Each structure stands twice: as structure tokens, then as C-alpha cells.
Amino acid sequence: MLKSPMKVVITGGAGQIAYNLLFRIASGEMLGLDQPIIMSILEIPSSMEALEGVHMELQDCAYPLLKEVILTTSAEEAFDGADLAILVGAKPRGPGMERKDLITENAKHFVSQGAAINKMANKNMRVFVVGNPCNTNCLVTMHHCPDIDNSQFFAMTQLDCNRSKYQIATKVSCHVDDVTDMVIWGNHSSTQVPDIFNTKVNGKPIRSVVKDDSWLENEFIQTVQKRGAAVIKARGKSSAASAANAILDSIRNIYSTDQHFTAGVCSKGNPYGVDEDLIFSFPLMSKGDGKYEIRKGFEFDPFLEERIKLTEKELIEERDMVAHLLK
Ligand code: NAD
Ligand code: LMR
């Protein structure tokens, strides 16, 4: 039996991630084959004509679960009654840039979108931020949603997690699913910390299976930290298909039960001593209905501890850069 429809908002619907995302959402791949969807797509005026073309293609797929599609340039209209918002719409970086170089251009849009979410959306909704720098854009959004619990905001680090799993599985010739408890700590940036201490391969500590600490501490971590830049260098554009895929993975994780996952979440009350007003990526355990706990008991060796401090410092600097946008 079909559930009642969920209103899912996607911003940046005419962009390259959206082109890899909207069709998979509409097919039921993200929320399940029993979940009808009202898709609400927010764009800026100059991209509306391109969005009309994407809309024609959605129509031409005749998706049974897609009950309605709303195209709008009004944030209040887009978020009205929303159950889930996936905030993709933002400028991507080009070659030679860091993601935080996008702060001035992108963060301000999350002020007005946050205000519209707070005013118009279902108070039990979830907000998932992809547009970069996604941790700090998520922090800005959360600060403008005083009526929505902080635990309902997420920033995407699942793509980094998937990249890490692939690198490890290739190194030790196992299946990606044999790599478990993978965590990205901190910022979705080149200071992020893929965990090389608590991750397991076939249930055993990663270091005991890889048996190559130098590879883990250098080549592995740097490959993951710089993978986004490597894709941009090779493609001339930032990751899109893998980003859309990671969005699907993340949303499924958020609505699952008893599933380990990783994402940027509000650091308030975290058990690892991280500054309490950041969107920081932690190990998470899903608790059903979109709820989660930050997993306790992950241990740090001095190598991990030092790098986690660095990524925390970078997030504090990014927060300082948007201090005028926070409230
Ligand atoms: P893109 O340029 O192809 O598309 C962005 C779309 O957003 C455009 O259609 C644009 O018109 C729209 N847009 C811009 N500002 C908007 C606003 N204020 N409201 C609504 N729509 C708006 O970019 P893309 O490749 O789809 O990437 C989108 C963002 O996602 C970038 O910031 C990119 O860096 C980021 N990203 C994040 C991750 C991650 O892992 N967190 C991965 C990949 C990309
Ligand atoms: C990625 O990790 O691929 C995205 O954040 C895009 C980028 O700028 O690297």
C-alpha cells in the first residue's frame, strides 16, 4: 500500500548534480517504491528555461510515484509544507580553488532559504545541504531555523566516505561492503579526516589488514581529501553522478534504523570535545524516523587527534567568515 506523499524540495534543479538526482528520486530509488513524491524545485530566474527542459524530461518518464512537480523561483513557495529539503543550488568551485573560496558567493543564499524553511516547512522536516562549503552553509541555514530542531540538519560527507571505501577495498582486494564503520571527521574539505583507526575491514581493525601505515597516513588520506579537485581537473566540472549517488545513500541512511553512517551534523553535546556550534562530520547511528545519535567510543591515536583538531580549526575559521550571517 502506498504511503501519503512526501514533499521533497531540491534546489539548483537545472544544475549538473540535479540532472543525475531528480530522476533517481522520482523513480523511488531514494525513499522507496511505496513512497509517492511531490517534487518542489527551486531555481534562480536565469536557470528557469533550462529547468523547464528538465521538467519535460521528468514528464516523459511517466514515473508512477511522481504525483506533482512544482517549479519556482520563490523560496517560500518551494518550502511550503516541505518534509525534506536537499539544498544543492550553489556555485561549484573551479580548478585551483578550495571549497571555502565559495563562502562569500554562496553562504548568503542560505540565510534567505533558512528563513523560508523556518516559516513554511513542516517542523518535522529534514534539511540536507550539498552546496559548498556544505558544512558552513548548513550552519548558516540552521541558525535561521530557530523553530526546527538542530538535529534535523545535515551536510554531506557521504561522497568522501564512499571514496574512502573504494580506495581501501582496492588496496586490500576486498569488496567495498567489507569496509565498515567508515567515518569522515570534520569538514567536507581538504582538511577532512577519513578515519584510519576505527574503520574495520571484514570486522578487523583497518591497520591490521592494510599493514601499511605509511600508505594509510599519506597516500590514502590525501587521495580522499583531494578527490573532488582531481575530478574537477580531469572533467573540467565537479563531481555530479557520484555526488547524486551519495545524496541517495545519505537520505536512505538518515531514514533508516540502526545503520552506521557519516554526515555533518550539529556538534552541540558531542562526546568528542569538538566546539559546540559547528556542523561537524561524526560517526552516526540512525534511530528511525530521521533520528540519529552521534556514536560514542571511537578512539583517536595522536595522528587522528592532531588532524581532527585541524579540521575543527578550519570550521571555526569558516564560521568566523560568516559571523555576520549567523543569528
Ligand atoms: P551547477 O552549477 O551545475 O548547478 C547549480 C545550480 O544551482 C544551477 O542550476 C544554479 O542556477 C542553481 N542555483 C545557484 N544559486 C541558487 C540559489 N540561490 N537558489 C537556487 N538555485 C540556485 O553545480 P553542481 O555541479 O550541480 O553543484 C552544486 C553544488 O554542490 C556546488 O556548490 C558544488 O560544489 C556542490 N557539491 C557538493 C558535494 C558534496 O559532497 N558536499 C559534491 C559535489 C558538489
Ligand atoms: C566533491 O567533493 O566532489 C565536491 O565537493 C565538489 C568539489 O568542489 O570538490
Assign 66 a pLDDT band (cuts: 50, 70, 90): very high
* Substitution candidate for ligand 1 out of 132, 159, 227 with most atoms within 8 A of CB: 132
Is pTM beyond 0.85? Reply is yes
Residue 238 CA, ligand 2 centroid: distance in Å = 6
How far apart, in whole angstroms, are the C-alpha atoms of residue 76 and residue 226?
36
Q: Is the CB of 129 under 6 A from ligand 1?
A: no
How large a percentage of the chain has pLDDT more than 90? Answer: 98
How far apart, in whole angstroms, are the C-alpha atoms of residue 196 and residue 208?
11
Q: What are phi and psi of 185, to 5 degrees?
A: -95, 135
Residue 288 buriedness (CB in 10 A; 0-12 / 13-18 / 19+): exposed
How far apart, in whole angstroms, are the C-alpha atoms of residue 279 and residue 157?
11
Active site residue 260: no
Q: Is the CB of 117 under 6 A from ligand 2?
A: no
Average pLDDT over the chain reads: 97
Assign 203 a pLDDT band (cuts: 50, 70, 90): very high
Catalytic residue among 55, 188, 260, 324: 188
**CB proximity list for 43: less than 8 A, separation 6 or greater:** 11, 12, 13, 14, 51, 71, 72, 73, 89
Assign 48 a pLDDT band (cuts: 50, 70, 90): very high
Q: Is the CB of 158 under 6 A from ligand 2?
A: no
Q: Is the CB of 238 under 6 A from ligand 2?
A: yes
Q: What mean pLDDT is predicted for residues 181-191?
A: 98
How far apart, in whole angstroms, are the C-alpha atoms of residue 4 and residue 2?
7
Strand 153-155 vs strand 126-129: parallel, antiparallel, or unpaired?
Answer: parallel
Q: Is the CB of 90 under 6 A from ligand 1?
A: yes
Residue with cell 552546496: 131
Q: Which atom of ligand 1 is nearest to the CA of 109?
A: 18
What is the arrangement of strands in the sheet containing 153-155, beginning at the earlier edge strand?
66-72, 37-42, 6-11, 84-87, 126-129, 153-155, 257-266, 279-288, 291-294
Ligand sitting nearest the alpha carbon of 244:
1
Residue 81 CA, ligand 2 centroid: distance in Å = 30
Residue 327 confidence (pLDDT): 76
Q: Which atom of ligand 1 is nearest to the CA of 246?
A: 40
**CB proximity list for 202: less than 8 A, separation 6 or greater:** 174, 178, 209
Q: Which atom of ligand 1 is nearest to the CA of 46?
A: 11
Q: Is the CB of 243 under 6 A from ligand 1?
A: yes
Q: Is the CB of 246 under 6 A from ligand 2?
A: no
Residue 82 confidence (pLDDT): 98
Residue 18 confidence (pLDDT): 98
Residue 290 confidence (pLDDT): 98
The pLDDT tens digits for 243-301 are: 999 999 999 999 999 999 999 999 999 999 999 999 999 999 999 999 999 999 999 99
Q: Which atom of ligand 2 is nearest to the CA of 134?
A: 5
